[in-house]
Structure 1
C-alpha cells in the first residue's frame, strides 16, 4: 500500500522553510496614513477622553487671550520636589542617580514618551568634504548622512542630515557646538553688512567647531508624520501607543547619534560638545541635554512650554496648547491627559526637574524681551524653573543662579552652572551668543597641559 505524500506545508515546516515562505507571502503593510487631527482623535479615544480644554490664544484681543498678568500666573505654586524620593526619602548626593532615574521615568511615561529599547543602528557616511572660508577663518566642512538601519521595515527610510565644520588649522580635536536647525551647507546665512558676526563666526573665533543637525530629517514636525520617520520606523508604520516617544525625544535621539559619530571623528573632542536650539528646537536642546549626559553644555533658546518653562504657570502658552492638534506630536500621548480631565497640577514632574537632569553640567537659559518677543514664551517661568533646579546643582557641589529675583533685561546671570539672560531682541538666540560663548569658555576651553613629573631629589 502506497503512503500518502507529506503535505507541502508540513514538509516546509520540517525543513525550516515555512517562515520564509510566509514572510514572502505577507509583505509588510505600508505606513498607516492619518491626518494630525485623526491621530489626535485616536489618541483621545485610547485615553478615554472626549475632549480637552481649549488652549490660550496668542492674539491679545481675543476673548481667550493668553494670560500676561503676573498676579494670575501661578495657580499651582507648589512644585514637585526633585530631592525627595517616591517613598519620601530625602535625597543625598549618593542617592541622586536613583532619584534621577525616578524623574526620567515620570518624564518618559507622562511627558516626552519612551524611546524603544532597541532602536536601529545608524551608519554615518561623509558625503562631501570641502575646504571653505567662513568669515576669514579657513575651515573643513563635512556633509554627513546618518543612514538608519531599516532592514526590519524597509518601507520607511530615515537619513539624518548633519554638517560639521572645524577650523582647518586646528592642532588637535576641538570643542563643537551643535545646533538644531536648518542646514545651510555648513556656512550658515551670511551676516548683515555692518552687523555682528554670525554665531558660526563667533564659535570659530574661539578655535572651536560647529555642527548643524536637521531635526526633520529624523522625525517630521507634525502629527501626520508619526507613522514615518524614526518613530514610524520603530513602530513599523503603525500609530503610537500612549507612552511612545514624541518628536522632541526623537530629535534628541538624532542628536545623540550625531554625538556617537563625533566620538569617532579625530577632529572633534567629543567630551566637549554642546547643544543649542531655539523655540521648539530649544525644547529639543534641553531634552537632549537632560537625557544624554555626554553633552557638556546646553544653550536653551526661548524654549517655552514643553521646554524650560514651568508647566504649572498660566502665562503665555499653556499645557492645553501643547496638547492640541498642532503640537501634541512633540510629546507622549499621555501628556494630553493634563489638558483634560487632569491639569498641569497633576503632572508628576515639571520643567525645573528637566533643568535638574542637566546637573551638574552647565546650561544657559536664553529668552528675548517681552516687548519684542512677547509673553508667549514666558521668560519668568523659565527663570523660575532655573531657580527651582538650583538645590540639585548645590547637592552635587555646583552653583545655581544665586538669586530668586528676576533680573533686569540684558543682565547676565552666569556665575553658576545654571545661567540666564534676557536679551532686548525677539525670538532668537542671536544677541545672547556672546554671553553664552563667554560662559562656555569656562567649561570648554583647552585643558591645561599636565605638568611634567618632578624628578626625585
Structure 2
C-alpha cells in the first residue's frame, strides 16, 4: 500500500466534523475499489411503500431515520447507503470481481486483462500511450477514446499516460440484455444497466494495472477518468463506484449523469426518467417517470457526491436543450455542499459554457481542465481549482431544492 495513502487514511480515522478551514488532509485516493462495502444492508422499500420527497434528498441523512451526520468519519457509511439505493432503484448492482479472478499482462504497450468467472473468460484490452520519460506516469482512462473527448495534449504534454476503455468489450451502447460480453460471466445479472456494467470494466483495467505493478509504468495513486455525453455519464459513474480513481472529469453528461431527475422533470425538452435510454438503467426505473420522480430514494447530486473526498470537474454546454444544464447546475451545487462541508470545496468544480459544438472543449475551458489535471494528477497544490462558472444561471435559485444545506455562500 502506498505510504502517502496510509498517512492520509490515518488522518481520516481521527478527523471529525472538519470546518472549511481544513483542506488537503483528507485522502485524494484510496487503495480499494469500494471502501463502503463493509456496511450493513439498508432497508430498500418497494415502490408502493416509498415516501414522497420533492426536494433533492439529503446525502447526510441516515437511512434508518436516526437523523443525519456531517462527520467525515461517517461518510463511507453514507456512501454505502447511497450506493445501495442507486444500485437497487437505478442501475443494478455492480458485480464484484475478486483479485484471484484477474490475469493481466502488457504486450507492445497494450494492456490485456482476463477476467475468470465460473469457467468463462472475458478479455479486455487497451493500448497505453506514454509520454516521454521513464515514469511512473499518472494515467487518464478515456471512455471510448484515450482521453475521451478532451484534447490529448492536455494530458500527454503534461507527462500523463493515456488509455481508452473500450466499452463494447463489456457492454454495447444499445445493450441487448443477456447477449452482452459481461453476461457470460454473470448470467444472473442480465437486468443491470450499462452504468453498472461499464464501471465494472473500468475497475478491471485498474485491477490489471495493480497486478502488473511497476512493469506498467503507471502511478496508481494518480488515475483519472473522462468522457463526454453518454460517455461523460460513464466517467461519472466509474468515478463514483471506484475510489482508486483520483480525478473524474465528466464532460456534458446531461440527463442520467449529474443532472437531478427531480429538477429535469420541471424543465422542457430534456432527458428525464420516462425518456432516458433504458439500455443504461434498470427497466424497473421507468416506474419513477413523470410525477413519480418524487418517490425516487436517490438523485444524481448524490451520484456526484459519491466521488467525495476525491476530485471532480463537471463541464456543461448550454447550446443543447436536451442536456438540461440548468438541472446540472442545481445538482452540481447540491453535490458540492458535501465537499464544502468537509472543507475541501476546491476539489469539486463545474464550468458551463455555450457557443461550441457538443463534446468539443472550447478554449475558455482549457485553463479549468488543465488546473484540475495539474493539481490532482501532477500534485501541484499551488494551482487554484475553485471553479464554479455558470453565469447564465446566476438567477436560478438552486437552494430551493436543498432545504438541508447549511452554508450561505
1:433 Cα deviation (Å)? 4.6
- Say whether the 8 Å CA contact 2:227–2:251 is kept in structure 1: yes
> Residue 444 of structure 1 aligns with which residue?
377
> Are the aligned partners of 1:177 and 1:273 in contact in 2 as well (CA < 8 Å)?
yes
Deviation at 1:118, TM superposition (A): 5.1
Displacement of 1:126 after TM fit? 2.6
Decide which structure has greater helix share.
2
Q: Counterparts of 2:193 and 2:202 in 1: how far apart (Å)?
A: 15
State whether residues 110 and 332 of structure 1, in contact with CA within 8 Å, keep that contact through their aligned partners in structure 2.
yes
Which residue is 1:407 aligned to?
none
Q: For residues 225 and 162 of structure 1, what CA distance do their matches in structure 2 show?
A: 25
Q: How does 1:3-402 map to 2 (within 5 A)?
A: 78-86=55-63, 87-93=65-71, 94-117=73-96, 121-127=101-107, 129=108, 142-150=109-117, 152=118, 154=120, 158-170=122-134, 172-182=135-145, 199-235=151-187, 240=190, 244-263=191-210, 264-266=212-214, 267-312=217-262, 313-314=264-265, 315=267, 316-322=270-276, 327-339=277-289, 343-370=292-319, 374-399=320-345
| CA-to-aligned-CA distance 1:139-192 (integer Å, 9 cap, x gap) | xxx222322225x254xx53223121112323x31111110114xxx6999xxx
- 1:298-331 CA-to-partner distances (Å, cap 9, x unmatched) read 1001111211111112231111112xxxx21211
Partners in 1 of 2:366 and 2:201 — Cα distance? Answer: 24
Quick one: distance in 2 between partners of 1:271 and 1:365?
21
The C-alpha deviation readout for 1:180-236, integer Å capped at 9, x for no partner, is: 114xxx6999xxxxxxxx72222111111111111111112223254331134211x
- TM superposition score normalised by structure 1: 0.64
How far is 1:89 from its partner?
1.2
CA contact (8 A) 1:199 1:433 kept: no
- Matched with 1:428 is 359
CA RMSD of aligned residues (A): 2.8
Give 1:353 deviation, angstroms. 0.5
Please say which structure displays the higher CA radius of gyration: 1
- The answer as to whether partners of 2:315 and 2:352 remain within 8 angstroms in 1 is yes
Secondary structure of 2:307's match?
A: coil
1:29 corresponds to which residue? Answer: none
Hey, what's the Cα distance between the residues in 2 that align with 1:187 and 1:362?
17
Name the counterpart of 1:22: none
C-alpha distance in 2, partners of 1:116/1:261? 16
Moved over 3 A (4+): 116-120, 186-189
Extract unaligned runs of 5+ from structure 1.
1-46, 50-75, 130-141, 190-197, 400-415, 449-457
In the aligned structure 1, how far is the partner of 2:147 from the partner of 2:110? 11
Task: For residue 80 of structure 1, report the CA deviation from its aligned partner.
Answer: 0.6
Q: Which runs of 5+ in 2 are unaligned?
A: 1-45, 382-409
In structure 2, relative to structure 1, the CA distance for the partners of 1:166 and 1:317 (3 Å cut) is same
Q: Is the alpha carbon distance of 1:308 and 1:429 closer, same or farther for their aligned partners in structure 2, counting shifts above 3 Å?
A: farther
SS of the aligned residue for 1:160 comes to strand
